[in-house]
Every structure is written in structure tokens, then in C-alpha cells.
Copies of this chain bind each other. A is one copy, B any other.
Amino acid sequence: MNDTRYELRPIGFVESSLVDLASAPAQGDEGAPDARIVVRPEFAPAMRSLEAGESIVVLTWLDRGDRTVLELHPRDDPTRPLHGVFSTRSPDRPNPIGLHEVEIVGIEDTRIQVRNLEAIDGTPVVDIKPVLGPVGAR
């Protein structure tokens, strides 16, 4: 168990005008620019049936996250009590996977235009999932 590792392959990356962490909002609904997910051509068939107007969950690999951090003060605010990283959305965590719920604005070839994605330009994307609707509609 202890030595098991799993290997993620990027299925694409983020294309955005956000280029540095300092200007990135902490969460997408706090004011991120529109952005695109550029899917690698070999994964294009997996995009079938994605449509404008749909909500999706984008999973990214936050490659600048510090994987050794287990506890921190949320939003680097020392007046807030120390939290375990599993109680925060910090990119600093053992497996720095980012979760972003966004809306598809449009699709052109292997580019998915989305609203409110707070990831910086070049961030690897590892998965895309539909947001689940009510049980009967799945």
C-alpha cells in the first residue's frame, strides 16, 4: 500500500489571460476571466456530447502546489486558525488536484471556452466531468 503510486496524464491544458498566481482570484466565482481548455488531439473523442450551456467540473493539476504542506492558515491570513489542508481549497496539499465548476460558453474543435475558470495559463487539465443533475435525469 505505502509504495503505490498512480500516474496522471494531462488530457489538455488551460489557455487564459491569467498568467501569474498573484492576480488569480482564490475561486472562480470571485472574478476570473473567460478561459479555454485546449484538449490534446488524441483525447478529442472524449469530448463528444459536450455542449455550450452545460456545467462541467474541470480537474486540474496545480503544479506549483507545495506537496509537503499539511496545515496552513486559510488565505495566508495568520488571524485565521490553523487548518488541515483537507479543510481548505489550497493548492498546497499532498495531491494538488484543482476542482473548478465552470460553464461551457462554446466549443471550437478541441478548444472549450468556459466562464470563471481561475486557473493560470498553461495549467494542466487531467479530467472533465459533467455536473450531476437530479437522479432521474442521469
Contact = CB atoms under 8 A, between A and B. Distances in A.
Contact of A4 (B46, B84, B124): B124
A95 B137 CA distance: 25
Interface residues of A, number: 55
B5 A7 contact: yes
A61 B59 CA distance: 13
B124 A6 contact: yes
A46 B89 contact: no
Contact of A46 (B6, B75, B85): B85
A115 interface: no
The oligomer's copy count stands at 2
A130 interface: yes
B4 A6 contact: no
Interface string A24-58: 00110110000000001001011111100000110
A17 B41 CA distance: 41
Given A6-B10, A48-B71, A48-B83, 7 more contacts: A6-B8, A6-B61, A27-B138, A46-B85, A48-B87, A86-B130, A99-B129
7 contacts: A5-B9, A26-B138, A27-B138, A48-B82, A56-B86, A95-B126, A97-B127
